[in-house]
Amino acid sequence: MNATDNRRAFLGMLRFSEGTSNSPTTRDRGYDQIVGRTRFTSYADHPRVRVWIPRIKNWSTAAGGYQLLMRYYDIYRKQLRLTGFGPEVQDAIALQQIKECRALTDIDAGRLADAIAKCKNIWASLPGAGYGQFEHRYVDLEKAFTREGGEAIVLPTLKTSEELHLAFLDAGGVLA
């Protein structure tokens, strides 16, 4: 399992989840998207466009592959000493946000479910985020993660008490 590949795959999974990498208007893997599926053409700065979102009855400045709000871009740009809003800058900010969620070690180790759970407060499209927006199912995110080259730990599925009882009897167990 390669930590670098898993980080790259998690970022790709996030762009898929946020609907940017699979947007019909993207020309650059989702990095050029403004909320509402429109595209910006200059990476010189965050596009700083306010878009009314009727579904949530609010304005949004979300842009880029990870749908970063303008106000957070300004904070991270200064904190990380970044220039522009190109793919490398967007990735660096997303990785910083993941680090702040304490999810990098989970991603590196392939603990995808744990990493997603820790990051759901940042990205509204992750399961359990609770922002009232569309949330992807874990299984779809896992497929996106592996499609992007990530390797997730496969946890054993839980057995029902009936399945455990039958397995016990099949193995020669005797109930008292």
Q: Catalytic residues, which ones?
A: 18
Using CA atoms, how far residue 143 sits from 23, 24, 139, in Å, is 18, 20, 6
Q: Give φ, ψ of 164 to 5 degrees.
A: -65, -40
Single-letter amino acid code for the residue at 72: Y
Distance in angstroms (rounded) separating the CA atoms of residues 139 and 113: 10
What kind and span of H or E run contains 39?
A: strand 38-39
β-bridge mates for residue 68, sequence order: 63
Alpha helix stretches (DSSP H) within the chain: 3-17, 70-79, 87-100, 104-109, 112-119, 138-147, 161-170
For every residue of 47-92, which 3-state class applies, written as one string?
Answer: CCCCEEECCCCEEECCECCCCECHHHHHHHHHHCCCCCCCHHHHHH
